[in-house]
Structure 1
Amino acid sequence: MEAVLNKAEAIKLLEIDPWLKPFEYDIGLRMDRYSAVKRALLGDAPNLKAIANGHLFFGFHPADGGWYYREWAPGAQALNLIGDFNEWNTKAHPLNKKENGCWEIFIPGEDALAHMSRVKVRVKANGISRDRIPLYIKRIDKDSGTGDFAGQIWQPPEPFRWTDGDFYVDHSRPLFIYEAHVGMSQEKEGIGTFKEFTDNMLCRVKANGYNTIQLMAVMEHPYYGSFGYQVSNFFAVSSWMGTPDDLKELINTAHSMGITVLLDLVHSHSVKNFAEGINEFDGTEYQFFHSGSRGDHPAWDSKLFNYGKHEVIHFLLSNIKFWLEEYHFDGFRFDGITSMLYKHHGLGVAFDNYKKYFSMDTDLDAVTYLQFANELIREVRPDAVTIAEDMSGMPGMCLPIEYGGIGFDYRLAMGVPDFWISTLRKCSDEEWSMHRMWHELTTRRAGEKNIGYAESHDQAMVGDKTIIFWLADKEMYWHMAKGDNSLHIDRAISLHKLIRFITMTLAGEGYLNFMGNEFGHPEWIDFPREGNGWSYKYARRQWSLAENRNLKYEYLYAFDRDMISFAKSYNIPGTGYATNLWIDERDKIMAYSKSGVVFLFNFNPSTSFTQFGIPVEEEGEYRVVFDTDDKRFGGQSRIARDIVYRTTRLPEKGDKPGIIIYSPSRTALALEKV
């Protein structure tokens, strides 16, 4: 124990957050576990990149004079490859058992397995034979007549030609992330494709100023309505939306436009399915997952990986390397981190003190795996980006591993959308707390970067509401025409702009928006299911609303585009913390400075202040460079852009230097020093 304590004393995480001092031993234990498991995994290999090659050995690989097919199935009694190439003969192509639970067959003939051949493997275990999909298959084919899923050989005669060799992620610029689901990205009542996204959406993302897209539901999932979070085949591109080459074309084109592409990576759990997934592939429940109740997620009805098993670590690390190298993804948003980190999965737990991060409920194996994942990603792509979806606030999540951290670049500021929804649900406009708003938008762990967002896909699902729907509700159906004067809609549009603007400027070192929310897409997301007659009506994006010059959606669309442009011009998210200049709880006013820009927000529902004094840090002359009241954004153009404001002393605010300016109700403005 003494050696661990001495090691922990040198961990920089403790210097960054002194509140962790009582948990010195726990953090030392974290680092000892990381070092010991890494030594065992590597053996004589120089690094994780050298061993994360399962996808290069297992699965289907052309070779001189034929094809190799290999699987890892230690609990199986027999494996037989079947497919249309052998007329689904269950005895023609038996695999031979090798060392360490590996199985192998060489199929002579370079044309023995043709491109797009359908294949399965019959696995005999415990005396029972099941037809399964190969673990490392790159594509799944669903028979439109029978609904039967099978693996599909993907080996086109002409390999895809990449042209993005000089693309890299510039970490000096903030991320403006466009979270997107390819299938529901089109206006048609059906499933959008990778090709349609490339043709119709990338130009939209670029024009709106976003420099990063975060693609959901890319990994194969049998149930479309799972939003891609019930993954069945970890090396396969979602067959719902196109082919592997279609996805490569999307990413290659995005790179040519200067757009970073992140994969929404699901390593937190796996679908239970036998026919489509990896569950009990070799006949044992413990091949990939924990045994017994620990292997089942009580809320998601899915299987939970055993991160303490070296073969599982190898499988998942190889998966990461595969997506980076095969598809040129620029990084990952890791889904469900909280569920991974704790044996209780964060369900019903309030993380209100540090003891809850370092208890018997913490899964140290998962912590170690996440450290390995981040280390491997940097070895393969030093410029890659990693984002953690963790609602618990685990200390060190976004600090380097050598500091005692877990190694992510960013964490999602998940408390921010929760704050906004709670405020909209529970508080009248007069009850909004400026101090609580400042606290929720600015409080984060020292040295750890956040992606701020007001809402993501989570808030758009059936059972919840988007911000615009909380604000406008059914009035959106009747009063969004520009000629329709509705105080209810005016309020909704004004607050929608204020919420997004203050979130973007305060809540993180990057910013995220879910597609369509930027213009206040109406209603919710409801995927086809029995309860809605298998309709796609609510699983699409109605871009025509934003582009209709007669509707008020155009105001919000223009505002979002100009807000992003303004933020990039002044590097707003990229400059860290803001300075609180003034908060007035009674009048619902907040002022702060960031990146040399002074911001003034008036959340008052009825009062405009004709002579409001804003304290500033530097004396001089100021002018308005951006405001939410512009007519192009559905405002009343009450804020002058052509006036230069000279500082004066503000006796009512401690005789601080400041400027006197008109602050209309429910508006925000930004000033720069001339």
Structure 2
Amino acid sequence: MQRSVEIYSLFTDFDVSLFRAGKHHKLYEKFGSHALLHNGNAGTYFAVWAPNADSVSVIGNFNGWNPYSHTLLVRWDGSGIWEGFVPGIGVGELYKYHIRSYQGEMSEKGDPFALQCEQPPKTASVVSTTWYEWDDEDWMQVRHEHNGLNKPIAVYEMHLGSWIRDPDNPEKLLNYRDIADKLIPYIIEAGFTHVELLPIMEHPYYPSWGYQLTGYFAASSRYGSPQDLMYFIEQLHRNGIGVVLDWVPSHFPGDAHGLHRFDGTHLYEHEDPRLGYHPDWSSYIFNYGRNEVRSFLISNAIFWLERYHVDGLRVDAVASMLYLDYSRNEGEWIPNEYGGRENLQAVGFLKELNEAVYGYFPDVQTIAEESTSWPGVSRPVYGGGLGFGMKWMMGWMHDTLAYFGRDPLFRQHHHGQVTFSMLYAFHENFMLPISHDEVVHGKGSMVQKMPGDEWQRFANLRTLYLYMYTHPGTKLLFMGCEFGQTSEWNHNQSLDWHLMQYEPHRGVFELIKSLNYLYRNEPALYEYSFSAEGFEWIEEGDAPNSVLAYVRKGIRREDDLFIILNLTPVVRYSYRCGLPAQGEWTVLLNSDDHVYCGSDAQQPSVQAEPIRWMNREWSAKFTLPPLAGLVLKRNPEKQPIRNKVLQSEKKPLKNVSEASQEKKKPVKPANVTALPSKRRTTKKNPINNN
């Protein structure tokens, strides 16, 4: 019969050689479906990698899902790439690949490079485009000012489907655009610098929270189109807010339409389950030793940074990638070539990934969720590290939550839990996370973890947050934690926003606002986030009283801050403590302030006395409020942080949805001077390019 697929290719021989060598980092420009013109005819070009297939055809509504009418051609060069041009179909067309293996096995697979998928539970790919007229150039030009390791980075981690829902229909998920309109004013009020989205790539199983991906290049259609997500990111950028995406190169699910046994063989994963199957998550592990798989994954990372203007990637489950025996018993794993437990292929992949990301986008950040003591995770590859920009400080999180979860009566016996982190705080570029994993599966919400009556629980939580924000490292807080949600996070419903009407919850939120303001405006809290130059203990050994005192240092000595914590519910009167310098020290922030629903035990300032104490030439007597922390600065403008917050809150666009109409008046981040740089954009002809 007459062939319905025309011969056409987007691949050059050089593209193929790079792909086979694992060095092609923009495969999304070649693979997948691309609506374009060929010989004057509109249609769609398809390309897919299936080296062990006997035949590959495109099926869809356009041919009645007939596997015999549109068979693709395999390239002559042995690359395993099947391709061809189908005239008469374009953007919006549903399709899959019908693959027959050499063994005669038949399967219908989604496109690994699809830019859009049907809304689950449907599983077809959709011919789509990532064309968008971006209007965030002001942000992109100065993004390095917001993402630098010597800048304040306070991340609001969120799950789009459960942050807020339609109040008239709680079962309905909001569109990316609707969420943007509600989220931006809130983030501006709260003072976070970035938002981090749990994976928004297409995933068939909603309760996986996005961590079981099938559509690596497709923004989840649950919340709208690719352009809707781009609008969401653009509007955050236009209001001075960065965007980080959770990214999952560690494993993928075994859904029939996904990557598992893609061409009838274990193409993307290892064939041996001791290497290719993940027992914890019943999923499959990428074969990092296969060049084409590395190209697929690195191209995916570059795709989100380039096409969606994302400002960073938080890489999930890095520990599971690094160790061959991760969550396995003896005999269930295969040692590496040297007899060790390290996954050398995954190590090589992570290094190559970070070199590629920072090579293309030096102004973004990659952040590793890595829970072990693997050395040099956030050190440069040329220095023997893995090359990440930052690493989650999981040890700090576990120790801190364990300590604050104890009855204050017994904290004196566990004082080391709250001081231990400073022994290794500068081994890596650490981000301090209180993430979604800590408020699900019976672990309790942050408030529920705290001991005591209601007042003590909220006071404990406020003190924990003050400790977190004054501890070296960048910050991450999961949604709902910022106002003390009392129930665990439930992905099937909106956050409990009604709690904000109650004083204890509003007090926690007001404290977070003040802490974010303090963090952004006090250089001592961020200039030396990853250097011992920025921290010094004053009192770390007073276990009987459960008191901590330390200094955070900036480049200039006049920026130094003094922090003192009373981790018991007892007011400590006339508590003498050493000070780093003479002069009057004014309280910038007191977590016991009545504005935060505290007991309002106030001490506006202290005067340093020439009395040697704790090996300090100067000291003062403090009234330490119960279960609270104080942040002091020498001779600042005498105005409480809470008042400064109210005066400094940036105003978002009156109607964020109108921002796209204000192309001539972009909202620039405050106090930033634009620097010349080439604009990254995806402005392309919508019919000729994706």
* TM-score for the superposition, normalised by structure 2: 0.81
Instruction: Say whether the 8 Å CA contact 2:403–2:418 is kept in structure 1.
Output: no
| Counterpart position of 1:73 | 50
| Counterpart position of 2:580 | 617
Instruction: Say whether the 8 Å CA contact 1:294–1:304 is kept in structure 2.
Output: yes
| Counterpart position of 1:217 | 199
Instruction: Say whether the 8 Å CA contact 1:271–1:303 is kept in structure 2.
Output: yes
| Counterpart position of 2:395 | 415
| Counterpart position of 1:459 | 438
User: CA distance change for structure 1 residues 128 and 540 in 2, over 3 Å: closer, same or farther?
Assistant: same
1:174 aligns with 2:152: yes
The one of 474, 492, 498 equivalent to 2:457 is: 492
The one of 342, 367, 379 equivalent to 2:347 is: 367
Amino acid in the other structure paired with 2:610: R
The one of 302, 319, 322 equivalent to 2:300 is: 319
1:123 aligns with 2:123: no
Higher relative contact order (CA 8 A, sep 6+): 2
Local SS of the residue matching 1:558:
helix
1:439 aligns with 2:419: yes
| Counterpart position of 2:314 | 333
CA deviations on 1:485-509 (whole Å, 9 max, x unpaired) are xx71110111001111102211x42
Distance 1:671 1:428 in 2: 24
1:629 aligns with 2:592: yes
| Counterpart position of 1:388 | 368
Distance 2:274 2:515 in 1: 48
Local SS of the residue matching 1:106:
strand
Instruction: Say whether the 8 Å CA contact 1:330–1:385 is kept in structure 2.
Output: yes
Query: How far did residue 108 of structure 1 move?
Result: 4.7
Query: How far did residue 440 of structure 1 move?
Result: 3.4
| Counterpart position of 1:582 | 539
Instruction: Say whether the 8 Å CA contact 1:169–1:260 is kept in structure 2.
Output: no
* TM-score for the superposition, normalised by structure 1: 0.83
The one of 635, 649, 656 equivalent to 2:617 is: 656
Q: Where do 5+ consecutive residues of structure 1 fail to align?
A: 1-40, 350-355, 473-486, 528-535
Among the aligned pairs, what percent are the same residue?
25
The one of 522, 541, 561 equivalent to 2:495 is: 541
Local SS of the residue matching 2:78:
helix
User: CA distance change for structure 1 residues 448 and 667 in 2, over 3 Å: closer, same or farther?
Assistant: same
**Aligned counterparts, 1:44-443, within 5 A:** 51-61=24-34, 62-64=36-38, 65=41, 66-98=43-75, 99-109=77-87, 112-125=88-101, 126-142=103-119, 147-155=121-129, 159-166=131-138, 167=140, 168-170=143-145, 171=148, 172-188=150-166, 189-190=170-171, 191-275=173-257, 277-345=258-326, 360-424=340-404, 429-433=409-413, 435-443=415-423
Local SS of the residue matching 2:221:
coil
Q: Where do 5+ consecutive residues of structure 2 fail to align?
A: 1-13, 331-335, 554-559, 636-690
Distance 1:196 1:460 in 2: 26
User: CA distance change for structure 1 residues 585 and 286 in 2, over 3 Å: closer, same or farther?
Assistant: same
Q: RMSD over aligned Cα, in angstroms?
A: 2.5
Amino acid in the other structure paired with 2:535: A
Query: How far did residue 293 of structure 1 move?
Result: 3.0
CA deviations on 1:577-609 (whole Å, 9 max, x unpaired) are 421101311111111111301111011223x22
CA deviations on 1:226-281 (whole Å, 9 max, x unpaired) are 01111112111112222111110011111111111111010011111122x11111
| Counterpart position of 1:592 | 550
Aligned pair count reads: 587
Distance 1:93 1:251 in 2: 37
Local SS of the residue matching 2:629:
strand
User: CA distance change for structure 1 residues 325 and 63 in 2, over 3 Å: closer, same or farther?
Assistant: farther
CA deviations on 1:71-121 (whole Å, 9 max, x unpaired) are 100111111101112222221100111133434343353xx2232111111
Instruction: Say whether the 8 Å CA contact 1:415–1:440 is kept in structure 2.
Output: no
User: CA distance change for structure 1 residues 243 and 49 in 2, over 3 Å: closer, same or farther?
Assistant: farther
| Counterpart position of 1:484 | none
Amino acid in the other structure paired with 1:174: P
Instruction: Say whether the 8 Å CA contact 1:413–1:450 is kept in structure 2.
Output: yes
Instruction: Say whether the 8 Å CA contact 1:649–1:658 is kept in structure 2.
Output: yes
Distance 1:300 1:489 in 2: 37
| Counterpart position of 1:511 | 475
User: CA distance change for structure 1 residues 348 and 440 in 2, over 3 Å: closer, same or farther?
Assistant: farther
User: CA distance change for structure 1 residues 432 and 233 in 2, over 3 Å: closer, same or farther?
Assistant: farther
User: CA distance change for structure 1 residues 49 and 660 in 2, over 3 Å: closer, same or farther?
Assistant: farther
Local SS of the residue matching 1:323:
helix
User: CA distance change for structure 1 residues 390 and 107 in 2, over 3 Å: closer, same or farther?
Assistant: same
Distance 1:561 1:118 in 2: 46
Distance 1:142 1:294 in 2: 32
